[in-house]
Structure 1
Amino acid sequence: MDFGDYVSSVPIKDCVVGQEYWIDVTHVNNPHSFFVRLIDFRMDIDILEECGKAVEDSEVTIGRVVIYLSGTLRKHVRGLVYFIHWHNVMKCDLKAIDYGCTDIGVPTSKIYKPKTPSKMVPLAIHCKLANCVPLNTDIWEAKTTEAMLTYIGKERTKMIVKNKMYNQLSVDLINSCPDDIATMLAYTNYSSLSFGNEISISRLRAPMPQLIEPEFKCLNLHIDEVLHVRVQSGKTLDSFFVARTYDFKQYSLDHSDFTAYCKSKRVIVDKEIEVGNLVAYKSLSGTAYERAVILELIKPGNKLRLQKIDWGDIVTATQMELKPITCDMYINKPAMAIYCSTGKSVIWDNGLHKFLYPGFEFMIKIKELGDGFNKPNVVDVFPVNT
């Protein structure tokens, strides 16, 4: 197999509700947050995880896929760099993209280039057990997670997709246990069964799966539409975010009002921390708030991974840095950031570095529509003065 040309087709949106898949469970946080990988990729993992040359500090950037020695998994794995620390030496926080776990503070001495360059997408799929809720609380106890790990064991597992949510699947897991994993946890008094929100019921026809979308909306764009934009974030031509210049001017005028609104709100509570929820994130400057969508709970009660919907970049934050957004005006206002990709290898006379500098203005023409923040809009780019 030529991994340089191969692109996997395992994104969540490609999984079909009602379909069965054979999987390996690769990492478990709790019954509402665990990761699986299709067994079809068992033979590919060894090749993907082969180490190449050691990386130099200057080569390590946020968003780069590398091979690193995972302390969690005790082996070399593919990892996505999502944060860089500088304390005398460079250390990185990495997401094991084929397993789902994270490693914090990995020194660059344990980070390598992939031996075989690959376009293989992350193979770990984020899941939750359908119809499974904690006992008399909103928090999963450690003993419940331990019981789940025991029932799953090391064998292959059948996964039935019950529902599709933003960035996560709701599933049943079936193996050699007497019943499915959610039912086993309930039978042994580690959890309860609930059928409240997993499907919508119609009196006129069979139950229909409900696709849960994130709370925010994206701009409605059109093929061949030409826009005057500015760079919001991004490091490569394959993945960057822009905003219409007139939207950004209005954003600048309204931002102080939004920050004042957020400062008057309480900190979010545990029950409001759900993947896909729209929240207000306190920026690193500490003086302003930004709208953001929750992507992932990295460590229960501690860090969350967010994407700022008006800028596009991904950040980490603690619960204390977040406020709820309950005002319809801020909930219904479309995300200002537009996810883009362009195939142009040369960007006129200014060069790529300036092209992707935040605030740099140019024109785009929509050639192919994307899918919100999941798939970029393919665009042509050209200077403002043409």
Structure 2
Amino acid sequence: MDDAVEVPDEAISRPADRFARRPLRSRVWPVAPLAFAGWWVVGALPWVVTGLRITPRLTTARERPPEPYLSTLPFVTGQLPLLVVLTLCAGAVSALAVLWSAPHGSKRIRRAVAALSGALAATAYTVVQSAGAARQSAGTFDGDPRVLRPLVVLAMACSIVGFVLGLCVAYGKPVLRALAAAPLAVLTVNWLSALTVALLGSAAAYRFVGQTRWLVGILLGLALATVGLRPARRVITWIVALAMVWVLEAAITMLANITVLLRPGYGLPGTVREVAASGQDVFVQALLAYRPGPLVLAVVIGLAASLLLTRLRPAGDGSREGAAGPGEAAAPPIPTAPSQGPTPPRTDEPLEPEPAGRHTGDAAAR
């Protein structure tokens, strides 16, 4: 018993120390609160800095106008473009919370589920609070259930779509990432414009907001640079991404114009068809009047950056990337099968000739 080896206390506590010293970024649970905070703090920031106050619009005669109320989202038809941009950007930001920890294939699904739970929790809280606050203003246009229900559905749908786009940017391959980044570039610039107007006011931010459209070309060009032009079919990705920016810009313009018609006294909901027809006309006119300067800038930046990346990339990577399809990884090399049988020893003596018909074949023998 005297020869027994004593185990030091440090060795016994080593497994516990390893668990205690495990870095926080290797855990999955922080993704959910980060997604929740990103949805509200970052996504809804242009609305937060305005004070979260809504002045309801009357639909019936009253002795005095209703008092403003607090709302976590702009649940008014006059702020419909802002509501769409905020919820789409908020969903995308919450999805980017999956980048909290280092990439690990087995934890991707767990991180995505955690981020989705945080995004859904933030969406549910803000939508329920905003709809409940608007519903308390009885007799107002914004508190009418026929106005609130479409806004609730729209906010939920935009949040989910934004989350999918953000997840494609975080986890997608170059082609999918570029296609998801194209609409997010437009939304990011509109989000930045809304924040500038909220901080500086419409008059002071007018010049700055007018130049933010060039930022769309810069962001889209950087996204296209990661796709490249080899193989040649990746040009289709460039065309689709440019078309998405063109169409989305026209859609936001249409949405901003039809909000003027979504007001008390216009005969809603009986005039929905007239509003839809007017929106269609505005959409077509916005497509035709679009100035392609940002798209040209995106192509120039994408070409220049892709050529630069090609030169910086090692020589062996280009051929494999070109052989693979869009967004596909190059096929691994096929291992060579080992030779069958033992290797004959090397000797200086000449080998004996083999009998005819064994390998080479003799016509008579066959």
Q: When the two structures are superposed, what TM-score results if normalisation uses the length of structure 2?
A: 0.25
**Higher relative contact order, structure no. (Cα contacts within 8 Å, ≥ 6 residues apart):** 2
**Which structure has the bigger radius of gyration?**
2
Structure with greater proportional helix content: 2
TM-score between both structures, scaled by the size of structure 1: 0.24
